[in-house]
Chains A and B, each alone.
Chain A
């Protein structure tokens, strides 16, 4: 089972990204869970969303405490929220950041797993005209999770976007461009390994 925990702020689309990742994994035949942890719903408040992906039916219905991957949608949460809490030693961290690799790596001193950074805000602003970092991050997470191939992922997401944005189809292309650009857009910041 792969367990993923998303840390974002209300309005950044962490929940939507988790649900779309569940969609993608479902299309590959996996059993999936995608769920948010709800507190007071406010723009900017820290929120958490979760994914479980497995090849067997999933019965557990608790939050995720020992994730395989943590996604930091908003790097200002580092320090404010224990984003690393329970992360498996060989796990992965994906951070939305425009900072230099060394600076991102410093934030997670002592972590032995892989840390990836992607400037999701920049990709989003260029492709969508606004800062919605969840779409590029979704692409990075889908690739790193290893559950789905590039072309199949884009195909599934196009279908999902056409449904989700039925009332504003003009945003589908921008979202697809953000996914394509981000697929290989993350940089390993703590070493020269690659997956």
Chain B
């Protein structure tokens, strides 16, 4: 079933109880987890945090930790599988699922309160209850009639049943044939933190990193990404007016779409940018020459572009975006800039949400002892 009121039906239910948090290994889930942890710490909600990588791990994690736990929150996992069937929980355990993987499993949608979905995506075309589930009344009615009418009625009913089944089959096929991503879970968690009035820059930053991850990994179309982050834009805009000079702020600015250019050298960033490199065919023999041509057009000396970004001249650094935009049409590149979230910290260089996405991905995939 879907939850209507985030605050009363989800958060207030968890207050005062112990919660099991099962989190998947992806950037969006990690950001959501960060926001939820912040909220739980403020309200002293005891929780046990277990990262899970797949369905098998989900099962083991649930089995190990399910003593005396009444509320389980699943972040980016469990939405597309039949939870009650796989985990075999007890009657009074409640699952809250916040999953951006779609399509949501039908049994989870029409569960009668044990599995509660925190966010309803409007673009999902979830089939109606009557089209999928139907009680079997056939056997009962047969006894009451007799004779020819009974036979005809029986045949009629069976035909109707078969037609209904075919319709159901098509509906389910259409519903489950593609799997895709919905709104980032962190944006939902951000709404929740706004509703309980605990939306600080940490939560905003986590939300922006999650939104950036969907853009960077091309999980959603650009139009949909923009719609998702609509609420986020509004929140960021409202905090920009607050005059707080000493702490960190999240701002929305136009930024060059070169991942990690602030940490590498400009040339390396251009060579690895997904917007630029394939279009300019930098992987071919002539690619190096094309890159040098682009840098020359932008007005950057080659030696400067090869050093680390921080050691470039200040004027050059400030003109990266504008020179890139002006050169782009000449080389037939798509628009190399986008609206990006930046974290401005006092006494430190600003951080881009995109860079954070790649950094977190690297950490997730790096297996250390």
Q: Are A and B co-members of a single complex?
A: no
B interface residue numbers (CB < 8 A to A): none
A interface residue numbers (CB < 8 A to B): none
